[in-house]
Every structure is written in structure tokens, then in C-alpha cells.
């Protein structure tokens, strides 16, 4: 299905983000990529549809070598690869329907796209998919009117409408609170199951990876250091992924990773979802509120 051989990426600054990563994904497999920040998780996912250009190695989707394609051929190949992004990456000022239909941009002419005249079947499928992700009736809402969870559902619907042969997801839950994260991961894996296609996603939260993936790939410093089922992800494996293979008594870091907080970049949680997350974690809401109203009065 998807077969990655010796994939490497060196950024212009000389930063080696990926170093000869090799693995295969079979049809209908759900694969999670975990690792500390800067381990190359995002780079790996983005190299597969060449949003980031790999510097060496090959990527085969079925029989096509993605890395050898010209720009035009790459556009055609990208139609077979659905992608879900970490900050949803919706066009906020367009309607939900336009965002979903933009999954078909590769298949229609630019003129059709400009006039928003998509084939009847695409529109039917768009309605059906919106229904499937629980957003029936929202087609005329603007994307910026939706909540974070709803936006990510639109992101999934857009990817599904491509009729892809594989779904990629780059940190699909990084902007969502825990509850919504679960709902989105449920949807993503279920929908892939319905379509009979594999999913490859990278994720910070190890518990989510354990829960949803059939198989986990661990990256550390751009190198593949673990590849196996969730049951094989023991403390030793966690050490290899999160502590660069060093032996030590610093269990804190591993624990943090297990809690899913490891390496969370604070800047990513500014989408109106974080306040809820804070109250859930911090708990004591009434006190918080009274503090706020007091400060307001003083001002």
C-alpha cells in the first residue's frame, strides 16, 4: 500500500529532521507516529504528499513513486492522499460546503471551481459526508462560525471527499480539548474503516495513540526507534523514544509523555478551546469567576 524507504529530510539550515526512515503500511491499518517535539513526526507526515520535500529516499503509494513525480503528476497523486491538518486549515471565510467541496478541486476544472459548479455526484457525496460527520444542516455556515471540533470534522469531510486511498493526519487533535479529541479520533478511524483505507497520524498524546492505533511508530531525533503494536510499547520502548535511548532514572519525562502533555507547544492552544481545557484541569471554576468580576470592578 504505502511503502517508505530510507526517507530523509535535511532542512536548508542543515537540520536533519528525518534520517533513513523505512516502513510499510498495509491497507486498512491505523498507524500512529509518536515522539518528542522536534523528532520529525510532522515532517514525516508532510513528506508523504510532499508538502515538505524529502531530500532522499523513496515513497511508494501502490505502484507510484511519489518522490519521482513532476509537479503536474504530483497534483494527480495528491488526490489519492487525504490530509487532515493540526489547525484545521479551513478557509475560514468560505462556507462549510465550499470547504468540503474543495476536496474535489483536483478533479474539476478551474472554471467549474471558480463558479462553484461541482458535479451532482460530488454535491451528493458532500451532503452525505457532512451528515456522516454530524454536520448535516451546517453546509451554509461559514467555517469561522464553527467550534474547533466542528471545524476538524469539516477538515475530515474535505479529506474524505477526495476519495483518497490513504488518510494522513498531522496532529489532528493538537488544538482540541480531551473530550473533543476523542470524538475526532473516533470519527477519523471509523470513517477510514468504512472507506477501507489506512490512516497514518502523528500525535503528542501517547494514550490516544495506544487507544486508536493498530500499530505505533516511534521517532526520536528523526530516526525510527520503535515500530510495533501498542502492546509492545513498554517502558523500555518509551525510553528509547523519549529519552534518546539513554538509561536513567528520570522517569518524569516518560510519565509526562504518558499523560499526553509532553512537548505541548502552548501557542497551539489559542483557538477558543483552551479555556475549557483549563477549567477542566484546574477545576475550581467559581473561584476563578469571582476573581475576574472583582478585577473588572476595580478597573
Partner 1 sequence: MMATIDTDGDAYTNPTWERYDRRTRLIRFFALLGALVLTIVSYQALAVRYEYVRTAPENMGNLIERMYPPDLAYSSTIVEPMIATVNIAVVGTLFAILMALPVAYIGAENTTPNRSTYALGKVIIAASRSVHSLIWALVFVIMFGGGVLAGILAITFRSIGFIAKLLAEEIEEINHAPIEAIQATGGNTLDVLIYGIVPQVKAAFVGIAVYRWDINVREATVIGLVGAGGIGVELNNRINAFDWQAVLTILLAILVVVLVSEGVSAYSRKKIR
Partner 2 sequence: MGAARSLEAYETDWSRPTVFYNHTVKWGVYLVTILFLIWNVWEARVSFDRLIYGAGQAGVLLGAFFPPDFGITVTAGGIETSDRFWRIYDGMVETLAMSIVATVAGVLVSIPVAVMGAENLAPRPVYYVGRAIISVTRAIHELIIGIVVVVGFGFGALAGVIALVFATPGFYAKLLAEDLEDIDQSRLEAIRSTGASPLQVLIYGVLPQVLPRVIGLTIYRWDINLRASTILGVVGAGGIGAALLTSFDTYEYDFSMGILLTIIAFVVLGEMLSAYARRRVQ
Nearest CB to partner 2, comparing residues 97 and 143: 97
Our finding on whether 193 is near partner 2 (CB under 8 A) is: no
* Cα 197 to Cα 128: distance, rounded to the nearest angstrom: 18
Our finding on whether 144 is near partner 2 (CB under 8 A) is: no
In the chain, the N- to C-terminal Cα span, in Å, equals: 62
C-alpha cell of residue 189: 478511524
- The dihedrals phi and psi of 264, each to the nearest 5 degrees, come to -60, 120
Q: Which residue do the cell numbers 513526526 mark?
A: 41
Our finding on whether 87 is near partner 1 (CB under 8 A) is: yes
Q: Which of 124, 265, 270, 289 binds partner 2 (CB under 8 A)?
A: 124
* Cα 37 to Cα 222: distance, rounded to the nearest angstrom: 11
Our finding on whether 98 is near partner 2 (CB under 8 A) is: yes
Our finding on whether 53 is near partner 1 (CB under 8 A) is: no
Our finding on whether 158 is near partner 1 (CB under 8 A) is: yes
Nearest distance from residue 259's CB to partner 1, in Å? 27
Our finding on whether 132 is near partner 2 (CB under 8 A) is: yes
* 269 contacts: CB under 8 Å, gap ≥ 6: 174, 175, 277
Nearest distance from residue 173's CB to partner 2, in Å? 21
Our finding on whether 275 is near partner 2 (CB under 8 A) is: no
Question: Using alpha carbons only, what angle is made at residue 73 by residues 27 and 71, rounded to the nearest 5 degrees?
Answer: 125
35: left (phi over 0), alpha (psi -120 to 50) or beta: left
Residue 129's nearest CA partner among 110, 168, 155, 91 is 155
Residue 132 near which of partner 2, partner 1, none (CB within 5-8 Å, type-dependent): partner 2
Burial zone of 242 (CB within 10 Å; 0-12 exposed, 13-18 middle, 19+ buried): buried
Question: Using alpha carbons only, what angle is made at residue 108 by residues 67 and 84, rounded to the nearest 5 degrees?
Answer: 55
Residue 93 near which of partner 1, partner 2, none (CB within 5-8 Å, type-dependent): partner 1
Q: Are 48 and 31 in contact (CB under 8 A)?
A: no
Q: Which of 1, 69, 113, 256 binds partner 1 (CB under 8 A)?
A: 113
Our finding on whether 294 is near partner 2 (CB under 8 A) is: no
Our finding on whether 120 is near partner 2 (CB under 8 A) is: yes
Nearest distance from residue 92's CB to partner 1, in Å? 7
Our finding on whether 156 is near partner 2 (CB under 8 A) is: no
Question: Using alpha carbons only, what angle is made at residue 187 by residues 54 and 158, rounded to the nearest 5 degrees?
Answer: 55
Our finding on whether 140 is near partner 2 (CB under 8 A) is: yes
Residue 236 near which of partner 2, partner 1, none (CB within 5-8 Å, type-dependent): none
Residues near partner 2, by CB under 8 A: 95, 97-98, 101, 116, 118, 120-121, 123-128, 131-134, 136, 139-140, 194
Residues near partner 1, by CB under 8 A: 49, 51, 75-79, 81, 83, 85, 87-94, 98, 102-107, 110, 113-114, 155, 158, 162, 298-299
Amino acid at each position: 500500500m504505502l511503502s517508505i524507504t530510507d526517507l530523509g529530510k535535511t532542512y536548508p539550515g542543515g537540520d536533519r529532521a528525518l534520517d533513513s526512515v523505512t516502513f510499510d503500511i498495509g491497507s486498512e491499518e491505523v498507524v500512529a507516529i509518536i515522539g518528542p517535539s522536534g523528532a520529525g513526526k510532522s515532517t514525516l507526515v508532510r513528506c508523504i504528499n510532499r508538502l515538505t520535500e524529502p531530500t532522499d529516499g523513496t515513497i511508494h503509494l501502490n505502484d507510484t513513486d511519489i518522490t519521482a513525480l513532476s509537479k503536474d503528476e504530483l497534483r494527480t497523486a495528491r488526490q489519492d492522499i487525504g490530509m487532515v491538518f493540526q489547525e484545521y486549515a479551513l478557509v475560514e471565510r468560505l462556507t462549510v460546503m465550499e470547504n468540503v467541496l474543495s476536496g474535489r478541486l483536483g478533479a474539476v476544472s478551474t472554471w467549474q471551481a471558480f463558479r462553484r459548479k461541482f458535479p451532482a455526484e460530488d454535491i451528493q457525496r458532500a451532503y452525505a459526508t457532512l451528515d456522516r460527520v454530524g454536520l448535516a444542516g451546517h453546509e451554509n455556515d461559514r467555517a469561522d462560525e464553527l467550534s474547533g471540533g466542528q471545524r476538524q470534522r469539516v477538515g475530515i469531510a474535505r479529506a474524505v471527499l477526495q476519495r483518497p486511498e490513504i488518510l494522513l493526519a498531522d496532529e489532528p487533535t493538537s488544538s482540541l480539548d480531551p473530550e473533543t479529541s476523542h470524538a475526532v479520533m473516533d470519527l477519523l478511524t471509523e470513517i477510514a474503516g468504512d472507506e477501507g483505507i489506512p490512516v497514518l497520524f502523528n500525535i503528542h498524546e501517547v494514550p490516544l495513540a495506544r487507544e486508536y492505533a493498530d500499530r505505533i511508530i516511534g521517532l526520536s531525533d528523526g530516526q525510527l526507534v520503535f515500530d510495533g503494536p501498542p502492546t509492545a510499547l513498554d517502558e523500555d520502548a518509551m525510553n528509547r523514544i523519549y529519552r534518546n535511548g539513554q538509561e536513567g532514572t528520570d522517569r518524569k519525562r516518560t510519565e509526562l509523555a504518558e499523560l499526553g502533555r509532553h512537548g505541548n507547544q502552548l501557542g497551539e492552544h489559542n483557538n477558543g478551546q483552551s479555556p475549557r481545557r483549563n477549567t477542566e484541569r484546574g477545576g475550581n471554576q467559581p473561584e476563578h469567576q469571582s476573581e475576574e468580576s472583582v478585577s473588572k470592578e476595580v478597573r
